[in-house]
Amino acid sequence: MDKIVDKIWRFFSSVKLAIVLILIIIATAIIGTVIQQGLPDEMYMKHYGMSVFHVLNAFDLFDMYHSWWFELLLMMFIVNVIVCTWERLPAIFKMFSNPKLKLPVEHLNAFKEKATIPYNGSRQTLIKNLQQKLKEIYKSPIHDDSKEGDYLYLEKGRIARFGPYVTHISLIIIFVGVLIGSFFGFESYLNLVPGESSDVVRTLRTNEKITLPFTIKCNHFNVEFYNSGIPKAYKSDLSILSGNTLVARKVIDVNKPLTYKGITIYQASYGQAGASNFSLALQGGDHNVENDVSLNLHQLYHIAGDTSIEVLDYAQNYQGFGPTILVGVYKGSKLMNTGIYLQKYPDFHGAERVDGYTIKFLKADESFYTGLQVAKDPGAPYVAAGAIVLIVGLIMSFFSYRRRIWIFIPDSPSSQSFVIAGVADRNKYSFEMEFEKIVQEIKKGVNV
């Protein structure tokens, strides 16, 4: 049993696994950007055909980022990060509390950056001179001695060694935040026509009903457009009601939400709300009179004899021709004919003159509903904190690097030279130049 646990532990403690997992995550994540996610099944069936649809659907490829296998990959990656961090962090702490002040000469000679420097005078004077000089140009060395001789030890950029761990821990914090969010939070939407109120919202992906601990009322909704027809701003004037008591009121805007009791209401979208009022001009008849009429959707209007008309449908921008209505012509209660009328092109009309009348579509009074997104995410602060820690960790890792330098002065009457050697965890090239400079300075310093 212990053996199995040990094996699993070792499996998850490897950096190789991390690389493999990241590469698999990359490869699979690409699939979800090629296949559009979260569309209705019918669209996929039409696009891919039934047989391909079934295969892709079996692998959850239409909602792959929430599929069991993708979440399993992410979970394995997090376990990998946790185990790697757990495994290596104690060793790092130990390394710092107990640095290797002394290394055998053979080790020192094996380093790429090394030099042997001759000196005159006594060892004691040399050590004092070196301490002085190093303090000036680099940092104060730690002195230690052994039977073989004296050691001076220098270390810089220790913080960089912690950087990767800070970065990895930040991933764990973010993961905790994501978990909290998925267990205790929700994402939902709510569409309201001005004047309407509701305390029931529907979740985004699964369309389940959620009852809020308060009621949202839309007092007003307003859309402004640029001349080009692109929306400029849309704002909802919302009231939050607890029972019948008004507890909050705010005009929300895109990027300016309203938060109440940990639940945030966002201005996400807007849309055409069914019934509108239409202005039409009718011209003709016996006296060729022109009269303007105002009609609601599906309101019958009597023209002459047993003929009447009705606005059957409205489109804000029908095939690029702008505001358009579909008008039905009735004889008695029988629909005889339909015609399309364009506000921008009054001379185009699909229907013949209706009993000697021409119809012009003057304008529509559009009414909109506001599209609200209602969300609660108690995990978000953790994710935000994790993100900040991530950046701190990256900066710690990269804007410094750990390097160690040893100086060994052998205790032998025959030798009038000492060894200096160093090693850097990273940035070997920068260290090479740094080391070179230190050696030059020391050579100048000790042989005055």
Partner 1 sequence: MMHIGHQTNTLLLSIATFVYVVAMFFYLFGLVFKKKYLDIAGFVVFVVGFLIETAGLAARWVESYHLDYGHIPITNLYESLIFLSWTIALTYIIVDLKYKIRKLGFPVSLTAFIFMAYASFSPDVSSRIEPLVPALKSNWLVFHVITSFFGYAFFALAFGASVFYLISDWYTRHTNGKVLAYLPSTKILDDMSYKLIIIGEILLAIGIITGAAWADYAWGRYWSWDPKETWSLITFLIYVVYLHLRYSWGWHGRAAAIFAIVGFGFVLFTYLGVNLVLSGLHSYGSA
**Which residues are near partner 1 by CB under 8 A?**
15, 18-19, 22-23, 25-26, 29-30, 32-34, 36-37, 65, 164, 187, 226, 228, 230-234, 253-255, 257, 264, 266-268, 373-375, 377, 380, 383-384, 387, 390-391, 394-395, 398, 426-427, 429-430
Question: Which is closer to partner 1, CB of 328 or CB of 422?
Answer: 422
Residue with tokens 């998850």: 12
Q: Cβ(307)–Cβ(330) under 8 Å?
A: yes
Shortest CB 283 distance to partner 1, Å: 37
In DSSP terms, 408 is beta-bridged to 151, 419
Q: Would you call 412 helix, strand, or coil by DSSP? A: coil
List b or e across 244-274, with b for residues whose CB sees 16 or more CB atoms inside 10 angstroms.
Answer: eeeebebebeeeebbebeebbbbbbebeebe
- Do residues 276 and 364 make contact, with C-beta atoms less than 8 angstroms apart? yes
Residue type at position 168:
H
In what helix (H) or strand (E) does residue 423 lie, and over which residues does it extend?
Answer: strand 417-424
Structure tokens of 241?
Answer: 């009601």
User: 363: which strand partners?
Assistant: 279
Q: What does the alpha-carbon distance between residue 217 and residue 243 come to, in Å, rounded to a whole number?
A: 12
Q: What is the DSSP string of 297-352?
A: TT--EEEETTEEEEEEEEESSSTTS-SEEEEEEEETTEEEEEEEEESS-TT-BSSP
Amino acid at 146: S
Angstrom distances, CA of residue 300 to CA of 218, 308, 331: 31, 6, 11
Residue 41's contacts (CB-CB under 8 Å, 6 or more residues apart) are 53, 57, 62
Listing DSSP states for 129-197 in one string gives HHHHHHHHHT-PPEEEE-SSEEEEEEEE-HHHHHHHHHHHHHHHHHHHHHHHHHHH-EEEEEEE-TT-E
| Helix (H/G/I), strand (E/B), else coil: 222 | strand
State the nearest-atom distance from the C-beta of 398 to partner 1, in Å: 4
Q: Closer to partner 1 by CB, 17 or 351: give it.
A: 17
Q: How far is the CB of 195 from partner 1 (least distance, A)?
A: 23
Q: Supply angle C-alpha 108, 407, 155, rounded to 5.
A: 90
